Structure 1
Amino acid sequence: MTDFGAIDALLAEAEREVPLPPAEERRALREGLNISRARLAQALNVSPSTVGGWESGRDPSGEVREKYAYFLEGARNKLAAAAAEETPAGEPVEAAAAEAGRETGRTGQTGQADQTGRTGRTGRGDEDDVEALTTPRPCVLCGQPAVHQVAGFPQHLDPGECGTAEHTRAAGHGRTAGAAQATGSARPKSPAPRRGPARPEPAGGPDGTARGVKVVPAGRRLRTADTPDLIGSAVAQALEAHSGDVEAATRALVKRAIPDAMALLDATRKGGRYDIIAYPWLPDILRKQTARGADQIWEARPRWTRAELPPGEHEVTALDINGAYLSALKTHLPIGRLEHSTGNHHDRRRAGVHLITPPVWEHDAHLPNPIGSRDEPGPLWVTEPTLRLLLRLSGPKYGLCDPPEIHESWTSGATENLLEKFRVELKNARDRAIAENDTVTLEYVKAMYSKFVSTMGESNYNRELYRTDWMHLIRSQAFVNLWWKAYRAYDEGLMVVRVMGTDELHVIGDWRTVFPEGRGVTEVKVKDVYTVGTGSGG
């Protein structure tokens, strides 16, 4: 017989999850109360990146969902109460509350950042970040001419002058936003809602064109204490939890490498000049064409072997490049929303991906092609590191090829140091582990930076960071770094035999006069030694 009692018990336990407002409202509600993402994350006992994911469309579950829903409902009620207090005589409270909700929704879609402590005249930690421009340049927020720059990026100082500002007027009484601000009742503007990978829809104007950026200069914020030793603490806890069993502790640490890397990233970004947006809008070329396929970006991975060697027998040394992805974290990364442009022009202050026709490479006999092993002719989408490599090689110093022809680009204002503190923390931990022969920390750190890079795209293993563009740029930077090592070997008189992936360089000759040997990220180690050719020149 059917156990109806068990079914009744199951139905009694089943509870409908508490509803949450749409993703585009969540960030607006939080910032409407001037509550930072970090403060909310601390109250909910999660990471700031997790809160960012919720504001991009992902939903929490279990007890934390109930707490998050409680916060959002409280925020909505508090904002509605504030709107009711501002209601002029004769205007229904319900209408004012509805207007407050519409205002929150509108400002959550404009891409305009909170002007306090970010882009306005107040809240900057250091006025030295602001400079007057002799010639107006496009604002990084709205694209319209600006006569000042903040932290090196052109920007309107007055939010009212910025094209992304929402110039709203209260319905029925004609009060301007400036007058409301003078009375302390202006509602704060909110950045554009972050969208997850499932629904990549750009926010734009009436003509459908993209407007604004997702990240804005924040000025020099209040510097916090040095980053805590999260890596050392995690290793100590793992060893204690597994009673000193090195292998068990290593397995446990490698398994949690991705969330730990994200926690370290959050810690190293405190006091940073720019916010990191976890789920920006990305163009279709950066999205997988099929579920198991790839996007349209060519990373220029090398897979090259020298076609001919001189007669005789040769000893080849296979060198291993240490920490290839760790070193590649230092690359020009776009800090804002990618914007489309056309024309054969490259702006070194920006970074992204570019559709180019690569130049003819005539040195394949002794050096790999900078665009990697590609058989198909014609234009292709390459990353910033690959384009910069080609432009440098086409310059007067090297003159190895013609300049590439740029057809169109998706770029944003960029910085080379966005992940620098994160990289340095990992490098220092790696160096200490090598010096102390600490294999647990060494494997843990290696897993952190390698998985961080490989899962920041369309991956189910890292739901806190969705930056497919960064993933391609960092990988390509690793390939570019390897290419330059091959060129250095060639330039110093070594014979380059093979270049593979991110960390494999095979050479003939006294390589120790060119590269320092060791396990540091600026050193190389021997992977293999083998012999090719014959004494008779075969």
Structure 2
Amino acid sequence: MSDFDAIDSLLAGVGPKAKLPAPEIRKELRERAQLSKAEVARALEVSPSTVTAWEKDRDPVGETRTKYAYLLDGLAAKFATGTAPVTPPAATEPTVAQAPAAADAPTLSPVPEEGGEGDEVEVLAAPEPCVLCGHPAAHRVAGFAQHLDPAACQTTPAVPPARPATTLVQPEAAPVRKPAARTSRTTARPSERSQGPARRAFQEPSGPVDLIGQAVQAALAEHHGDVDAATAVLLKRAIPDAMRLLDETRKGARYDVIAHPWIPDILKKQTSRGADQIWEARPKWTRHELPPGRHEVTALDINGAYLSALKTHLPLGQLEHSAGLPHDRRRAGVHLITPPVWEHEAVLPNPIGQRDEPGPLWVTEPTLRLLLRLSGPKYGLCAPPEIHESYTSGATENLLEKFRIALKDARDTAIEQGDEVTLEYVKAMYSKFVSTMGESNYNRELYRPDWMHIVRSQAFSNLWLKALKAHDEGLTVVRAMGTDELHVIGDWRSVFPEGRGVTEVKVKDTYTAGTDTTEHTETEGEG
């Protein structure tokens, strides 16, 4: 966020706000009008999970709040909500008789979800492609078109399709501690594994990428081809557009996600402008002594550091506390550890970053996994860290993989075509997505400070591993900073591919460093 964005946010919050009824009244109004959350979400250009949050304990802000208040005022004018009871959900759900196009379909009912409300089912005026098989479907479940009858999914006639998972499943208002789901691709039940072909049916790379392309074309058309004006508009929309892209790429996903879970105090800011207790292990290291002589140093820029870091082990559900247990690779979260002594500071940065004070500290999953890896028999660079306690949940490394690939593909295409508008838009989408998923007023749909720390730490871990690779390949590592800056001496092109892709590096700067030992010796002799 720029300083002006922050000021705009402050100005937007000054002045009278549109009045909203209590959350339970909001839900009652919507149900009386027989409107699904998906319909309201589309009208207000938000996700269905956001509407769920508004009907529980959260309020919209800015222009969205004004639009939502206008909708609720209009519904209140149509229905007397003061004393009349809420219509039971079963009565508000459309039935087969109301849908001539699906006269032979079974009676509609909500699809249950773990720990949440049932998915909403609506009858479509015109059939839409099913997210599982791609063939026309007459109903939409949780905002996604699909067949209610498993036999109607033509790609898997003998296997019931998996329950559609809304991208962001909101928890109840009060914290609920429950066992975390540990389902993974390697531990899935046989019936889940058999659904692979159906789940692959919607993995079309053109879909999510088209969302990005359509947004860019619309912005350019709106501003009559003015590149600067279109880019400015797209950058302001980067966060909500990233969340919509996330929803699109999570269609039919195997895992449900809790978007606003209970968070332990260690993940909460200690003061309004302060930080929480999590240490991200950000590299900030410069080599103390260079080899004798003058050297040409190349500062390498690591492309798409945060984009690559989206592939990391993320906890799915609410974090649960444990103490005295060994590390479980099927889970992820944050851990209180005593880090090992690092004896290679002269040639490589400490994997936990520059930390002056000794003793235990809270680190994220990528940092712990890096330390465990370096303490293993392959490297043997340090002792294992001592784990005191942890907050973890069942995890997967592929939670954001489709989202990452969609952004990567759009980025690659933009670079190939010299499309700077799309390139800046995509960069803003993934960088702001990472920076606002914690305690931020810019993103109300996702509150996962644990994810934010984990993704950032993964970027730092990736940079550290590049430093290790450079060292192992005979380069002299001079500096490692943040997520994307690595300074080396030597033939780096034999180690790292050069380019603008996310698996490549580019030259940021070159300079000379060191001491000319010949001149230094001659000067000493003359004295």
TM range (shorter): 0.7 to 0.9
Question: Cα deviation per residue 1:30-63 (whole Å; 9 max; x = unaligned)?
Answer: 9999997535523655322422431452224334
Partner Cα separation in structure 2 for residue 37 and residue 377 of structure 1 = 51
Structure 1 contact 298–383 (Cα < 8 Å) conserved: yes
Partner Cα distance (2:118, 2:325) in 1: 35
1:111 aligns to 2:115 (yes or no) = yes
Whether 2:178 is the aligned partner of 1:211: answer: yes
| Mapped partners of 1:392, 1:422: distance in 2 | 27
Q: Are 1:298 and 2:273 matched, yes or no? A: no
Distance in structure 2 (CA, Å) of the matches to 1:423 and 1:194: 29
Q: Secondary structure at the match of 1:77?
A: coil
From the superposition, tell whether residues 20 and 477 of structure 1 become closer, same or farther in structure 2 (CA, over 3 Å).
same
> CA, structure 1 residues 236+365, in 2 after alignment: closer, same or farther (shift >3 Å)?
same
Q: Offset of 1:215 from its aligned partner?
A: 11
Residues 509 and 483 of structure 1: CA distance in aligned 2, closer, same or farther (over 3 Å): same
- Aligned counterpart, 2:476: 495
Question: 1:215 and 1:338 mapped to 2: Cα distance?
Answer: 12
1:64, distance to aligned residue in structure 2 (A): 2.1
Aligned to 2:458: 477
Aligned-partner SS, 1:78 = coil
Call closer, same or farther: CA 1:417–1:53 in 2, change over 3 Å: same
Gaps of 5+ in 1: 1-13, 84-106, 131-149, 152-190, 196-200, 204-209
CA 1:252–1:62: 2 relative to 1, 3 Å: closer
TM alignment of 1:319-334, pairs within 5 A? 319-334=300-315
Q: 1:27 & 1:396 partners in 2: Cα distance?
A: 57
Q: Alignment RMSD, CA only?
A: 3.7
Whether 1:447 and 2:414 are equivalent positions in the alignment is: no
Which whole-Å CA distance do the structure 2 matches of 1:300 and 1:330 have between them? 18
Aligned residues: 427
Cα distance in 1 for partners of 2:87, 2:160 equals: 35
CA spacing shift, 1:37–1:347, aligned 2, 3 Å: farther
Identity %: 67
2:108 equivalent in structure 1:
none
Corresponding residue for residue 289 of structure 1 = 270
Residue of structure 2 in register with 1:59 after alignment: 59
SS in 2 for 1:231: helix
When the two structures are superposed, what TM-score results if normalisation uses the length of structure 1? Answer: 0.71
Q: Structure 1 residues 339, 78: CA separation in 2 closer, same or farther (over 3 Å shift)?
A: same
Please name the residue that 2:510 is paired with. 529
The answer for the alignment partner of 1:41 in structure 2 is 41
Task: Please state how far the C-alpha of 1:77 moved relative to its aligned partner.
Answer: 2.1
Deviation track 1:468-497 (CA, whole Å, cap 9, x = no partner) reads: 010000000000000000000000000000
1:19 matched to which residue of 2? 21
1:140 alignment counterpart: none
The alpha-carbon distance between structure 1 residues 509 and 58, as it changes in their structure 2 partners (threshold 3 A), is same
Superposition map of 1:217-366 within 5 A = 224=202, 226=204, 227-228=207-208, 229-366=210-347
Q: 1:239 to 1:462 in 2, by over 3 A?
A: same
- Note if contact 1:385-1:477 (Cα within 8 Å) is conserved in structure 2: yes
Give the aligned partner of residue 175 of structure 1. none
Contact 1:357–1:405 under 8 Å retained in 2: yes
Q: 1:269 to 1:33 in 2, by over 3 A?
A: farther
CA pair 194-439 structure 1, distance change in 2 beyond 3 A: farther
Distance 1:447 1:334 in 2: 24
Q: Note the alpha carbon deviations across 1:489-536, whole angstroms, 9 max, x for none.
A: 000000000000000000000000000000000000000000001222
TM-score, length of structure 2 as denominator length: 0.72
Q: Cα deviations across residues 338-367 of structure 1 (Å, max 9, x unaligned)?
A: 111011411000000000000011111101
SS in 2 for 1:62: helix
1:420 aligns with 2:422: no
Q: For residue 462 of structure 1, what is the amino acid of its counterpart?
A: N
Residue of structure 2 equivalent to 1:78 = 87
Show CA shifts across 1:386-439 (max 9, x none).
000000111111111111010000000001111111100100010001101111
- Cα distance, 1:192–1:267 mapped onto 2, change above 3 Å: closer
Amino acid at match of 1:435: E
Q: Is the 8 A contact 2:315 2:332 kept in 1?
A: yes
Q: How far apart are the structure 2 equivalents of 1:277 and 1:503?
A: 30
Unaligned segments of structure 2, at least 5 residues: 1-15, 93-111, 121-140, 143-147, 164-168, 521-527
C-alpha change, 1:401 and 1:77, in structure 2 (3 Å) is same
Determine helix, strand or coil for the equivalent of 2:300: strand
Q: CA deviation at 1:253?
A: 1.2
2:445 matches 1:464: yes
Q: What is the alpha-carbon distance in structure 2 between the residues aligned to residue 252 and residue 15 of structure 1?
A: 24
Alignment of 1:82-231 (within 5 A): 111=115, 114=118, 193-195=171-173, 202-203=175-176, 210-212=177-179, 224=202, 226=204, 227-228=207-208, 229-231=210-212
Q: Which amino acid aligns with 1:502?
A: T
Once residues 403 and 370 of structure 1 are traced to their aligned partners in structure 2, the CA distance between those partners, rounded to angstroms, is 12
**Kept after mapping to 2: 8 A contact 1:48/1:266:** no
**1:286 Cα deviation after fit:** 0.5
**Preserved contact between residue 295 and residue 514 of structure 2 (Cα < 8 Å):** yes
Counterpart CA distance in 1 for 2:30 and 2:247 is: 19
8 Å Cα contact 1:312-1:533 kept in structure 2: yes
Preserved CA contact (<8 Å) 2:283 2:353:
yes
8 A contact 2:46–2:244 mirrored in 1: no
Would the aligned equivalents of 1:194 and 1:279 in 2 still touch at CA under 8 Å? no
Corresponding position: 1:383 with 2:360: no
Are the equivalent residues in 1 in contact too, given 2:170–2:259 (CA < 8 A)?
A: no
- Counterpart contact for 1:313–1:532, Cα < 8 Å: yes
